[in-house]
Amino acid sequence: MYRVVLIDDERLIVEGLSRVVKWADFGCEIAATAEDAVTGAGIIRKIRPDILFTDIRMPGQDGLTMLAGLRSEFPDMQVTVLTGYRDFSYAQEAIRLGVTRFLLKPSKMDEINEALQTMTERLKKSRPDTENENPENSRAGSFLVKQAVAYMETHYAEKLTLQEVADACYVSQWHLSKLLNRFTEQSFYDILNSQRVEAAKRLLADPSLRIGDIGEMVGYADPAHFARIFKKTTGMSANEYRNSL
For the ranges 129-133, 172-176, 218-222, 229-233, the lowest mean pLDDT is seen at 129-133
Residue 131 has what pLDDT? Answer: 57
* Residues 6 or more apart in contact with residue 12 via CB below 8 angstroms: none
Cα separation, 62 vs 148, in Å, equals: 12
Cα separation, 191 vs 199, in Å, equals: 12
Question: For 81-132, how does the pLDDT look when each residue is reduced to its tens digit (9 = 90+)?
Answer: 988 877 777 788 888 888 999 898 888 899 999 999 999 999 998 755 445 5
Per the prediction, the chain carries an average pLDDT of 90
Instruction: Map out the domains of the chain with their CATH numbers.
Output: 2-131 (3.40.50.2300), 190-244 (1.10.10.60)
Q: Which residue has the higher pLDDT, 106 or 54?
A: 54
Rg, the chain, Cα only: 22
Q: Which residue has the higher pLDDT, 84 or 177?
A: 177
- State yes or no: pLDDT of 208 exceeds 70: yes
109: left (phi over 0), alpha (psi -120 to 50) or beta: alpha
Cα separation, 107 vs 115, in Å, equals: 11
Q: Which residue has the higher pLDDT, 26 or 67?
A: 26
- State yes or no: pLDDT of 158 exceeds 90: yes
